[in-house]
Amino acid sequence: MERNDVLLVSPPSRMDSHYRPPLGLMYVASYYRDIGLSVRIADYPFAENIRNANFWRKRDEMVSQCKVKVLNEVYNTNPKLIGISCYSTEYNEVLSLIKDIRKISKADIIVGGIHPTLKPHDFDGIAQIHQGRLDKGYACYDLVDMKHYLEPNPYLIRGVLLKGMYIVSGFGCPNQCTFCVASTLKQYFKSESKTPQVLYDEVVMLKDKYGIDGFYIIDDLYTINKEKVKEFCSLVAKTGLIWGCCSRVNTVDEETIKQMSKAGCIQLDFGVERGSNEALQRLKKGITIEQIKETFRLCEKYHLRTFANFLVNIPEETKKDREDIEKLVCKIKPTITCINIYEYYEGCKLGLASIPDSDLLQWKRRCMLNSNWNSGIKWSSLKHLKLKYYKALSLVIKEGLNQLFSH
């Protein structure tokens, strides 16, 4: 390989992501290109993404193989600069990777992401906060395996089999939820977002170049600015694509939901979290049960699927808290319901979590298997029903050819 100025790396353990590309690195790569540097991304997603027993048996081996590929790329390209992304859960892994890189390379190494932002002293060197911009250029989609990431899968808009891509409109969230690191991170950078026109242009490029059927806006909170959302809807409606995004029950109203539905949005993901106003207040969620019920009613009225996230294992949680969640789910009837177990991460104001007990785990399993809670895992149209069989048919044909030529 020819030498590159910059090599960007995700920790190998991230390679088991559900068809989600390293968007952060892809936007950083765009910045480096803009200033005239050559750049590569060391990205080796696992070919096997189905979370079955075989996958988990092989996972550690696949992570080790990925690390070898990263080190080989460092050796072969001999970059001047290596950038590594790091969450708090990846701290030890990243330190180990840096030590191995140092054995074969003298490149400058920059560690970025949430953990080094919150705890820069965990890494030797100089800490800097750099304000990037989102209104210049697209993510570098050509630097990752788009054939892999565009395989029809049900994870982009969860529950809908789709050939699509994640896109970023903006960073940051202004809310104060104590279980989330976003409220701590916002002191380090200003919230900003692309203009609706820039976001639309990126969507059109993905449709024209890669043939996407849909997309998901992966911002922490896309619907924070109703006027921008409505302007984007007026543009994207003509593409015929379907899409979804993360929202919040107090940032959308009937007119916004109506326009989003007309513009091809088929699903909104909400952080509902708890089942009573008292429990929501303890998390400083900033929403009410009444707002939750009304927003889910409007989504149903305008035929928008809903994905409801709930959070359990909160300090001082009671049996009543779980009962309240069950009652609320039965009332708002989300298309898909997900129960998440709270764990403490660096920067969360809620504090340490206890180890989930067997009663909690059994309750979660029972709820998640309840067909009345997740009765909406279905395909949104005939087009996507056909996609449901696309991959299965391809595998059947491939297996048939293998058997044919093996004789």
Per-residue pLDDT tens over the stretch 7-37: 999 999 998 887 899 999 999 999 999 999 9
pLDDT for 124 equals: 85
How far CA 237 is from CA of 112, 215, 232, 381, in Å, comes to 36, 13, 8, 17
pLDDT for 237 equals: 96
pLDDT for 345 equals: 81
Determine the Cα–Cα distance for residues 164 and 137; give it in Å rounded to an integer.
20
The letter for the amino acid at 326 is: E
pLDDT tens for the 407 residues of the chain, in order: 566 899 999 999 998 887 899 999 999 999 999 999 999 999 998 876 667 788 888 889 999 999 999 999 999 999 999 999 999 889 999 999 999 999 999 999 999 988 888 888 888 876 666 655 555 568 999 999 999 999 998 889 988 888 999 999 988 888 889 888 887 877 776 667 899 999 999 999 999 999 999 999 999 999 999 999 999 999 999 999 999 999 999 999 999 999 999 999 999 999 999 999 999 999 999 999 999 999 999 999 999 999 999 999 999 899 999 999 999 999 999 999 999 999 888 888 888 888 899 999 999 988 887 767 776 555 444 444 444 444 444 444 444 444 444 44
The letter for the amino acid at 293 is: K
CA dihedral 344, 354, 55, 216 (to 10 degrees): -40
For the chain, what are the domain ranges? 6-122, 151-387
pLDDT for 382 equals: 43
pLDDT for 282 equals: 93
pLDDT for 381 equals: 45
pLDDT for 310 equals: 96
In sequence order, what are the residues at sequence separation of 6 or more whose Cβ sits closer than 8 angstroms to the Cβ of residue 40?
A: 4, 6, 7, 8, 73, 77, 79, 143
CATH topology of domain 6-122: Rossmann fold (3.40.50)
Determine the Cα–Cα distance for residues 93 and 96; give it in Å rounded to an integer.
5
List the one residue out of 216, 185, 200 whose CA is nearest residue 18: 216
Determine the Cα–Cα distance for residues 18 and 267; give it in Å rounded to an integer.
18
CATH architecture, range 151-387 = Alpha-Beta Barrel (3.20)
DSSP string, 210-243: H--SEEEE--S-GGG-HHHHHHHHHHHGGG--EE
pLDDT for 399 equals: 47
Structure-token pair, residue 290: 């009444």
pLDDT for 132 equals: 55
Task: Write the pLDDT tens digit of every residue in 235-284.
Answer: 999 999 999 999 999 999 999 999 999 999 999 999 999 999 999 999 99
Owner of token pair 């024209």: 208
List the one residue out of 94, 174, 119 whose CA is nearest residue 347: 119
Please tell me the pTM assigned to this model.
0.87
How far CA 334 is from CA of 145, 160, 273, 307, in Å, comes to 34, 15, 13, 6
Structure-token pair, residue 86: 């790091």
